[in-house]
A and B are shown apart, each in its own frame.
Chain A
């Protein structure tokens, strides 16, 4: 029966990998492989660019991959908390993973900063969310921007096509809610898989309902397929995408079929086009410069910027917390949580954060802009 020893042997090996206690440990779990890899990889790259000391304290980033799987995300979180004794957990990339992590973080009284979109993650009705913060704009905020833009452009009917996963689902729920309130009619609600090779069926269904506009809720290059198929099948109406597509690869794959598409995004996407008076510009340009220096021109994505923003929040909150307690202690984690909740007027690459006990996101209207795809690039809509 010596197989029971096996895990123990593994554990001993793992024990050799322990980390030192005096520094501040930031635990990160993100989806660098699996279906959400295109979001997780830039996030992972971003952590490598982050400052290695804050407030005179050395910071250790322990970055783990959860393969876009909730079980692994929770396992990672438990590991980070119990094994690496982290002072804060950052992650995960996608909504289900983040939701699953809330319980673990709250029970260990460790603050957590999610990089996923859904408003449910920081829904204050759940008392555990006291420990949870997030950096990406809520779906609601982005949906409102799209609905407003549609109404301003005299669009009355819209067809929705999204990923058949939490991303597409979250978008549909929020978008449908706001559209209904604003009397915008949704005439079709279609789903497709990220790796599908054909969406002809969905495209024909959408065309048969003759919508004024189509909203595609997908992330990265897979969001190009419905739009290309619709164009090919002769659809002439307007196109909207979500901020999930905001990377250069999407433009490369979608090419001329995406000209004239509108999408809401964080200001970081069009940092260079922001007026100099906008405080976000400097922060966003700083990130873009650093990232592109490391990974090449045109490689920045808004997802990496969510990670960067989590870093900025920590850089502002940690010095406050350090005044109250020593890193590695329960008191420090509580102080860090309080400090995060108390952040006011912190400029991040996606907007300006004003946290409160009721709002653990802290963004306002400045956190989103409408962007048009023009000449193969992102153009800020004034």
Chain B
């Protein structure tokens, strides 16, 4: 219905509203990139306006320059080719900038974007063949099959077609394997790496997509305005794009449209209204605009879209448990094979020796429990094994290959999967999607396929696998609930399901029983026994003695970063060193 409204809009609306809608479309396209980059991916960029500028300047230069170098001249044939050129230039520049600045962490990243945003702006202004500060005139209008899109009403269809296509592709992308990886970037980077996600690649993807959206917007802008100069690509405008994305609702695709629409319309409205209120002499627009924005954030700090979405309940699609062909499984090492071998691992933090000459071995088809008092260095060892921190010295081997110094993504790929002591789920995502992140490395469909939803077959299989693991751990009834709404104990179980969906040969569990009730512990123990019997190796860090002693095949005890005992559960329980460590000195 609304699509129809959009389609007939230009036929019935006065011309200026069409013009406004055109601008809204252009802004929304850039804001959409920011939703992906900042709202979803957590990478704040002040520099999007510079990418808009690259798109606009590329086409501006190619379509107006009187003499072009031969290499470039074939681009000038049609503005549609200059779009390709603009995208190429922007992606190349964004690629280089991304390599440089996406490595920046925390607050360094926004400043990095600010730095190149400023630099590009001043470059536009100081390069004479780009028209300098004064600008470039005479950019031709776009044409389609010989028909010139000179009129705003014609351009309108092109702009909104592109925008809706971009929205559709962004939504598709977010609802896919790559999309889950992208959504994990904000607040789940370590977890995602441990599940085999290349987070640096995901960051680059959204950076390039956002830059491409900006460049397309710039290309449209240049042919709509038919004039380019540096001011529309300045830092101020870059900040305004961010403003639009955040006020619309930075985490929501439709928020980009709402934000761009709200700000554009509000500014127009203030421009009409305020002179009637205050008289024509002052300039109150910007003041009132600023105050209104503050007011909006006081009422809706997540932006406008969540409010709208709540006011107009959208019918959710029926939630059927996903089904699909099972995914290929990795070859199981026969029971008894040494999976993990840690030899003389040492980890020092400055002067503190957290692990000293730790050695242990986990075989296929056994449960090894690692116990020890608080601060004994169990979690440090866990991090060494899983590649979160490299050991200071010593060796870690997995299936006979050295993995110390490897990154956790690589280790995950080889068939080791883990849970975290402090639950690392993405609370706003459903249990199903959280678990599906575990299966990330078992799929291969890329961004392009995801954007047009050409990977639905693989996606169904991934989700089906996730659903199977959820069923296996007994949380089917919560499958579609937000992960953050579950009790803490259940969240730990979700983590196990997530680890299982990566089809591991070795499962590392960091205090899985904490927060579980007695019956739930029993169920968990049964599950772990079953996994062991299927040939999986399990390394378990746990505090709960009863749980460990009833479950583990062997036990390793740590204290002060060193191994003090190793053996069968009943042997370890009688070991005087262990008793002393747990109960304090008994004289």
Task: Verify if B15 is at the interface (C-beta below 8 Å from A).
Answer: yes
Task: Tell me which of A4-12, A264-272, A285-293 binds B.
Answer: A4-12
Contact with A along B91-128 (1 / 0, CB 8 A): 00000000000000000000000000000001001100
B257 touches A4 (CB 8 A): yes
B229 touches A14 (CB 8 A): no
Given A44-B281, A70-B231; A4-B225 close (CB under 8 Å):
no
Q: A97 vs B19: C-alpha distance in the bound complex, in angstroms?
A: 18
Closest to A3 in B: B258
Q: A49 vs B138: C-alpha distance in the bound complex, in angstroms?
A: 36
CB distance from A69 to the nearest CB of B (A): 5
Task: Verify if B227 is at the interface (C-beta below 8 Å from A).
Answer: yes
Given A1-B254, A48-B280, A75-B19; A6-B134 close (CB under 8 Å):
no
Q: A99 vs B133: C-alpha distance in the bound complex, in angstroms?
A: 12
Closest to A37 in B: B283
B14 touches A82 (CB 8 A): yes
CB distance from A131 to the nearest CB of B (A): 14
A166 touches B227 (CB 8 A): no
A100 touches B225 (CB 8 A): yes
Task: Verify if B286 is at the interface (C-beta below 8 Å from A).
Answer: yes
Q: A7 vs B269: C-alpha distance in the bound complex, in angstroms?
A: 11
Task: Verify if A96 is at the interface (C-beta below 8 Å from B).
Answer: yes
Task: Verify if A65 is at the interface (C-beta below 8 Å from B).
Answer: yes
Contact with A along B1-17 (1 / 0, CB 8 A): 01001100000011111
Task: Verify if A257 is at the interface (C-beta below 8 Å from B).
Answer: no
Task: Verify if A241 is at the interface (C-beta below 8 Å from B).
Answer: no
A63 touches B125 (CB 8 A): no
Task: Verify if B23 is at the interface (C-beta below 8 Å from A).
Answer: yes
Most chain B CB neighbours (cut-off 10 Å) among A1, A2, A47, A70: A1
Q: Interface size class for chain A?
A: 35 or more
A99 touches B134 (CB 8 A): yes
Task: Verify if A103 is at the interface (C-beta below 8 Å from B).
Answer: yes
Q: A189 vs B158: C-alpha distance in the bound complex, in angstroms?
A: 44
Task: Verify if B406 is at the interface (C-beta below 8 Å from A).
Answer: no
Task: Verify if B196 is at the interface (C-beta below 8 Å from A).
Answer: no
Dominant secondary structure at the B interface:
helix
Q: A201 vs B135: C-alpha distance in the bound complex, in angstroms?
A: 27
For B17, list chain A residues within 8 Å (CB).
7-8, 11, 14
Given A7-B265, A32-B283, A169-B133; A70-B229 close (CB under 8 Å):
yes
Closest to B221 in A: A71
Q: A100 vs B24: C-alpha distance in the bound complex, in angstroms?
A: 19
CB distance from A44 to the nearest CB of B (A): 7
Closest to B137 in A: A99
Closest to B267 in A: A72
Closest to A11 in B: B17
For A170, list chain B residues within 8 Å (CB).
134
Most chain A CB neighbours (cut-off 10 Å) among B254, B271, B286: B271
Most chain A CB neighbours (cut-off 10 Å) among B6, B24, B280: B280
CB within 8 Å of A: which residues of B? 2, 5-6, 13-17, 19-21, 23-24, 122, 125-126, 132-135, 137-138, 150, 152, 221, 225-227, 229, 231-232, 237, 254, 257-258, 261-262, 264-266, 268-269, 271-273, 275, 280-281, 283, 285-286, 304-305, 308, 312
Please list the 5 inter-chain residue pairs (A to B) with the smallest Cβ-Cβ separation, ordered nearest first.
Answer: A10-B265, A100-B227, A82-B15, A96-B229, A83-B16
